[in-house]
């Protein structure tokens, strides 16, 4: 699924998600729910910094690989979920339903990772049987006598 389409679905499913971005693991912004492109870029940069800081904390604590995180503040919460290719980062108001948000973000990532329908159908079309040729001298009836 297209990342922008997946974010549209996310916003429809999860009313608690106020803003969300999809960031590739190289740090480039792939899609966002924001109209302000500069703000979306700032969130994408912040999401990459957030993940890097969390990854550093994980390493210093000797924990296994990081899969998702939440930062809760009185002003709102930030969620991030990452797979092998990209991360989806979402902002919610205070006191969100944590399990539900993570579930919706993982669904969003899974939808993007799914192979697009066009790619699956990217096989040569089967030949279509040609209509039988009209015998020479005969005309197609056109209904006008």
Partner 1 sequence: MARGKLAAISVATASVLGTVLVRRRRRMHQTRVDLYFGDGSMLSLPDDAPETAAILPAAHAILAAAT
- The residues of the shown chain that bind partner 1, judged by CB under 8 A, are 18-19, 34, 39, 42-43, 45-47, 49-50, 53-54, 56-58, 60-61, 63-76, 78, 89, 91, 94-95, 98, 102
Residues 96, 98, 104, 109, CA torsion sign: positive
Whole-number minimum distance, CB 39 to partner 1, in Å? 5
Indicate the residue among 63 and 117 with the shorter CB distance to partner 1.
63
Strands across the sheet containing 29-32:
29-32, 17-24, 86-92, 76-82
Indicate the residue among 52 and 114 with the shorter CB distance to partner 1.
52
Whole-number minimum distance, CB 103 to partner 1, in Å? 12
Length of the chain: 145
- The DSSP 8-state label assigned to residue 137 in this structure reads T
H or E element, residue 77? strand 76-82
Indicate the residue among 8 and 68 with the shorter CB distance to partner 1.
68
Indicate the residue among 75 and 135 with the shorter CB distance to partner 1.
75
Whole-number minimum distance, CB 115 to partner 1, in Å? 24
CB of 23 closer than 8 Å to CB of 79: no
CB of 113 closer than 8 Å to CB of 85: yes
Whole-number minimum distance, CB 62 to partner 1, in Å? 11
């Amino acid at each position: 699924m297209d990342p922008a389409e997946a974010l549209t679905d996310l916003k429809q499913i999860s009313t608690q998600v106020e803003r969300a971005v999809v960031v590739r693991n190289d740090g480039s912004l792939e899609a966002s729910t924001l109209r302000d492109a500069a703000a979306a870029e700032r969130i994408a940069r912040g999401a990459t910094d957030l993940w890097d800081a969390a990854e550093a904390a994980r390493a210093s604590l000797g924990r296994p690989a990081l899969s998702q995180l939440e930062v809760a503040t009185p002003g709102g919460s930030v969620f991030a979920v990452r797979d092998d290719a990209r991360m989806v980062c979402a902002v919610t108001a205070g006191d969100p339903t944590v399990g539900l948000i993570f579930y919706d973000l993982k669904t969003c990532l899974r939808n993007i990772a799914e192979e697009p329908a066009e790619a699956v159908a990217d096989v040569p079309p089967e030949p279509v049987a040609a209509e039988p040729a009209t015998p020479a001298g005969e005309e197609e009836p056109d209904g006008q006598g």
